[in-house]
Amino acid sequence: MTAHATRHATQDQATHDHDRTGKTVDTEAESAPPADGERMRRWRMVLGADSAESTGCTLTGQDVAMDGALNALYGGGGGKKPGGRGGGGRSAGLGASAPSVARWLGDIRTYFPSSVVQVMQRDAIDRLGLSALLLEPEMLEAVEADVHLVGTLLSLNKAMPETTKETARAVVRKVVDDLEKRLESRTRATLTGALDRSARISRPRHRDIDWDRTIRANLKNYLTIPGTDGGPDTGTVVPERLIGYGRASQSVKKDVILCIDQSGSMAASVVYASVFGAVLASMRTLDTRLVVFDTAVVDLTDQLDDPVDVLFGTQLGGGTDINRALAYCQSKITRPADTVVVLISDLYEGGIRDEMLKRVAAMKASGVQFVTLLALSDEGAPAYDHEHAAALGALGAPAFACTPDLFPDIMAAAIEKRPLPVPDKETGS
């Protein structure tokens, strides 16, 4: 992640440069090789102040400010921390330096694009112990909001002073609104089509006929018609039974239960799942329930009209008892054949493993469509309990990571009782 920030800051270094943390950076130039002077300037920006003598390059103008912002986060030696402290060791607890940190945040937003700013913010939180400073309103107002920041705010929710909570809610609201704009229309379109197709009728109007299923259902009625004038025989299928798509109605067609692990490692998944939960709850043909759990189980269904309320109803961190959460979800199932249960968890179970697996097997045997997502985020391959994932796969409930863009397709397949479009066939094995 730091590599990306450095690459954008220095505008394409030589291939396989090294950043200040010692990581290899793939920075293949997109244009003709730079002149020697420009090349040295770029190396100086990548390697930091300690390289000034070896590169023979002195920075000027905006390069000095950009280098200072980078050095505050990634530098050592004489570099200043965002809070104004000297370089020595990297220690947490910057105390009352929120104004300095806020100024640093303003600087990086001036010099770097939004995607890089988000990376540097996360690095600052992790490397310099800035979590406590997020409790300051002026700090929150300076931050570039993203899913990871929301996760940090939620983890600090209980310690947050009242004077800061409204500012924090405004930050979370902005991220949630952006996510809803990105995800809602496709989710509605995909699931509405799936719901219509799952409600097939036997006397459809011509435009509503599902010809593929109708032909397959009537293959036994295939007739051979002799050819005329010595021509080849032909055949036809007599459709005694027509199968069609049901028209959308106002009645509830499917029950959906989102069961979300709220342990600290699942922060991004909690954010995305809460947004999706609100979108699903707004669809009249779905009856959506949202349950979060650690060692306790909390039903947040009555807050689904506002995903921000859902998020502030979670408590990131703590242990995990998947078995207890599934027991609660199982108790709420009244129409197994029309129910989809989505477990979002890294499967690090702190409860009774065998009981958890028995519950999943029982739900599937009753007709429930059971989906296990190891993560619901854009963060790449997650850490998860491979043994539990393999056990669920053996039950016919493969566990895999899912991006937000893929989630509507996963839900559509579950609603239609089709094989799930697992992105990586080996993930749950």
Q: Tell me the C-alpha distance between 200 and 415, whole Å.
A: 13
pLDDT at position 342 over 90: yes
Number of C-beta neighbours around residue 355 at 10 A: 15
3-class secondary-structure state, position 339: strand
Residues 70, 151: Cα–Cα separation, whole Å: 24
pLDDT digits (tens, 9 = 90+) for 155-187: 777 777 777 788 888 889 999 999 988 888 889
Average of per-residue pLDDT across 40-51: 74
pLDDT digits (tens, 9 = 90+) for 178-227: 998 888 888 988 888 887 777 655 556 666 677 777 787 777 777 777 77
- Find the mean pLDDT for residues 386-408: 93
CB-CB contact of 399 with 393 (8 Å): yes
Q: What is the mean pLDDT of residues 344-362?
A: 91
pLDDT tens per residue, range 88-121: 333 333 334 455 666 777 788 788 887 888 788 8
Residue 50 has pLDDT above 70, yes or no: no
25 DSSP β-pair partners: 17
**For a pLDDT cut of 90, what percent of the chain falls above it?**
31
Taking the C-alpha atoms of residue 371 and residue 420, their distance in angstroms, rounded to an integer, is 9
Answer yes or no: are the C-beta atoms of 290 and 301 closer than 8 Å: yes
